[in-house]
Amino acid sequence: MSTRVRASLFQGPEMSGDVACNLDAIEHAATRSAEAGSAVLVTPEMSATGYDIGDLVHERAESSDGPIFLAVSEIARRVGVAVVYGYPERAGGRVYNSVQVVDASGTSIARYRKTHLFGDLDRGRFLPGEELVVQFELGGIVCGLLTCYDVEFPETVRAHADAGTQWLVVPTGLMVPFDIVATHIVPARAYESQVFVTYVNRCGRERDLQYCGSTCAIAPDGTELGRAGRGEATLTVDIDPAALDSSRAINTHLDDRRRDLYTPRTG
């Protein structure tokens, strides 16, 4: 039976220094999360290595079980919280913008490769992932993963809702001037697809990018469970499946769809 799960959302600094500094920031955030009684810490897109780091992407890319994973695994096991982190994943000679979930025992339980790549920042460095719906379970709640630009497409969130995702975890690297994504699009996605969305952004400046912060947690009824400002912050929120059941009983968008009319026209 699913129960309420407490989560900490770390809106970290620019994190563009060396990997050791980034892992240290993640460790400190995980420790604060444990002190707050959280079961999981969610960090931003590419939190272990930096995001807008140019050719360093290829230098820092590693396998899903490489040194970064081993370090995060040890943090999770020692502190006793699950950790969601981002990194450039090298696999078969290719590099992906990936996010991995490590549970409180230090075991990897999910890995997602960003499927919708944003501009040259992504397309110049990464290949797109081919698996859209990646899920894992936390406290009996079915969780799903997307990364940043992915959530801006209604089809991605709806695919998760149709697959049974209750809580969508979205590490991101949203930059100025696209604040509207955090303030309007993310709440709309949560409401229209009736899922919890935790959208965890970076802050500060990294090379040419100024990140806009605004990390948020949105309930299925559109309620804002928490929102950060522009600077470094850690939000602690409770994900309550009972609120999802209540919202879906009132908002019947998912059940009321006319799927028979949505077939694309040809010719």
What average pLDDT does range 23-39 have in this prediction? 97
Asked about 27 being catalytic, the answer comes back as no
Q: Where are the domains of the chain?
A: 5-256
Average pLDDT, the chain: 95
Q: How confident is the model at residue 266 (pLDDT cuts 50, 70, 90)?
A: low
Does domain 5-256 match CATH 3.40.50.1450?
no
The active-site residue out of 143, 148, 203, 216 is 148
Strand partners, 8: 41, 236
Asked about 148 being catalytic, the answer comes back as yes
pTM: 0.95
Q: What was the pLDDT predicted at 1?
A: 57
The active-site residue out of 45, 62, 89, 152 is 45
Residue 86 has pLDDT above 90, yes or no: yes
pLDDT in tens, 176-194: 999 999 999 999 999 999 9
Q: What was the pLDDT predicted at 15?
A: 58
SS3 sequence of 46-85: CCCCCCCCCCHHHHHCECCCCHHHHHHHHHHHHHCCEEEE
The active-site residue out of 14, 114, 152, 203 is 114
Asked about 137 being catalytic, the answer comes back as no
